[in-house]
Amino acid sequence: MINLETPKKIRPLIDQAHQVAMNMLRPISRKYDQAEHEYPVELDMLAAMIDGLADSGASEGAGATGVRRDDKPVEAGNKNGANLASVLSIMEMCWGDVGLTLSMPRQGLGNSAIASVANDEQLKKFEGTWAAMAITEPSFGSDSAAITTTAVKDGDEYILNGEKIFVTAGDRADSVVVWATLDKSLGRAAIKSFVVQKGTEGMRVERLEHKLGIRASDTAVIIFDNCRVPAENILGNEEIDVKEGFAGAMATFDNTRPLVAAMAVGCARASLDLTRDVLKNAGIEIDYDKPAYSQSAAAATFLQLEADWEAAYLLTLQSAWMADNRQPNSMEASMAKAKAGRMGSDVTLRCIELAGTLGFSETDLLEKWGRDSKILDIFEGTQQIQQLIVARRILGLSSAELK
């Protein structure tokens, strides 16, 4: 049974993440929002600290590399492991800054893909890499099954051809996890992921995007033109299992969607914390012992926003906890992503309204959090795609039966 209290063993990690967010990320948040595409060099020291914790064995869940599932038997009871630790620490980091969190070396979404799908030999081979993840293409957004980038076997290599867009950390990362199809005629089952290391001939960064939010994070367009990748860099195995379908590739999302939900929860929490102070300074009291209808409109709105935040927070914890306890969490991961993504946009924008001119100006970070939160409702599968996945799971229908 899930315990909603923060596990004692994870509290030191959460405290450390909060201190980093407050003392390292917040002070440089505006600087790198305004200096889009400039690499935040301050993160190198932070990455070195995380690497040191990893070497000492004290960093379970400290970032994207902590979401590895294994096949070890689960003891009866309640296991609070790396997935739960990861989402809780990510929440704290994104309370500081979402874009900077996404810019952390060796903590890319591609690292989660490697942790989720790679075999033990590949985990060793790619240990220490900073991996971006390339899925989206110009011809599609959230429908990952529509991938047209091809991977053709040629001896001991695969030849990749295609274009990927909106690749987070695509220019800065050491490698890119690229989703491609081995055989278009076999549909979803033929989609595999490849680790393409930086400098590989045939792979080039075409351009960097200018964005509404998360400006500290680089977002790249990457072209693959007869790019040769060693066959051993295909994550998992090369076999096409039509019975398994898309399940192997989609296992990545069961781990990364709770992380994105945690980002939205952290960013929204930052907005609520600051807005509470703004309201207090304006003489508006928020009384948790009185019904909302008997309080001011601002206080009642704030209470509703906090309730919405709490729901997203709990769904996120549930999806991560299920992963730790080796329970199927695909539906819950999509529920958490859908709820948190929508909540993040709603809460940050309503906080801007409640704060008045302070919310709209660059005096504080409220307007920035409103811009940053929007992407969290889009990438890793849009709001609409998440609702579709949840509906399929509840109704027991396939993707072909419910589109």
Per-residue pLDDT tens digits for 307-334: 999 999 999 999 999 988 889 999 999 9
Topology (CATH) of 247-395 = Butyryl-CoA Dehydrogenase, subunit A; domain 3 (1.20.140)
Bridge-based pairing of strands 150-154 and 157-168 is antiparallel
- pLDDT value, residue 357: 94
Q: Report d(CA 182, CA 136) in Å as an integer.
A: 17
pLDDT of residue 68: 52
Q: Which helix (H) or strand (E) holds 50?
A: helix 42-56
Q: Which of 36, 60, 380, 401 is catalytic?
A: 380
The pLDDT confidence band at residue 118, using thresholds 50, 70 and 90, is confident
Q: What whole-number distance in Å separates Cα of residue 321 and Cα of residue 328?
A: 11
Greater model confidence, 47 or 395: 395
Please give the pLDDT value at position 65: 43
- At the topology level, CATH places domain 131-233 in Butyryl-CoA Dehydrogenase, subunit A; domain 2 (2.40.110)
Q: pLDDT tens across 271-290, in order?
A: 999 999 999 999 999 999 99
**What percent of the chain stands above pLDDT 70?**
91
Q: What does the pLDDT look like over 3-23, one tens digit per residue? A: 778 889 999 999 999 999 999
Q: How far is CA 238 from CA 113, 163, 191, 192, 248, in A?
A: 16, 22, 10, 8, 11
Domain boundaries, the chain: 11-118, 131-233, 247-395
Two tokens at 341?
């993504």
**84-108: average pLDDT:** 94
Lowest mean pLDDT across 112-121, 151-160, 375-384: 112-121
What contacts 73, CB < 8 A, 6 or more positions away? Answer: none
Average pLDDT over residues 175-203: 93
How would CATH label the architecture of 11-118?
Orthogonal Bundle (1.10)
Whether 75 is a known active-site residue: answer no
Give yes or no for residue 105 having a pLDDT over 60.
Answer: yes
Rounded Cα distance, 284 and 278, in Å: 9
Taking only the tens place, the pLDDT of each residue in 234-277 is 998 888 765 554 555 567 788 889 999 999 999 999 999 999 99
Query: From CA 325, how far away is CA 255, in angstroms rounded?
Result: 13
Cα(132)–Cα(195) distance, integer angstroms: 9
Percent pLDDT > 90 in the chain is 71
pLDDT digits (tens, 9 = 90+) for 142-185: 777 789 999 999 999 999 999 999 999 999 999 999 999 999 88
Residue 297, pLDDT above cutoff 80: yes
Q: Say which DSSP state 67 is in.
A: -
pLDDT at 93: 96
Average pLDDT along the chain: 90
pLDDT of residue 88 exceeding 60: yes
Structure confidence by residue, pLDDT tens digits, 41-66? 999 988 887 776 665 555 454 444 44
Say what the pLDDT of residue 5 is. Answer: 83
Instruction: Answer yes or no: are the C-beta atoms of 326 and 299 closer than 8 Å.
Output: no
Query: Residues 379, 168: contact at Cβ < 8 Å?
Result: yes
Instruction: Tell me how far apart the alpha carbons of residues 366 and 29 are, in angstroms, rounded to a whole number.
Output: 12
Which helix (H) or strand (E) segment is 203 a member of?
A: strand 203-208
* Average of per-residue pLDDT across 190-208: 96
* Nearest Cα residue to 352 out of 336, 376, 372: 372
Flag whether the pTM goes above 0.85. yes
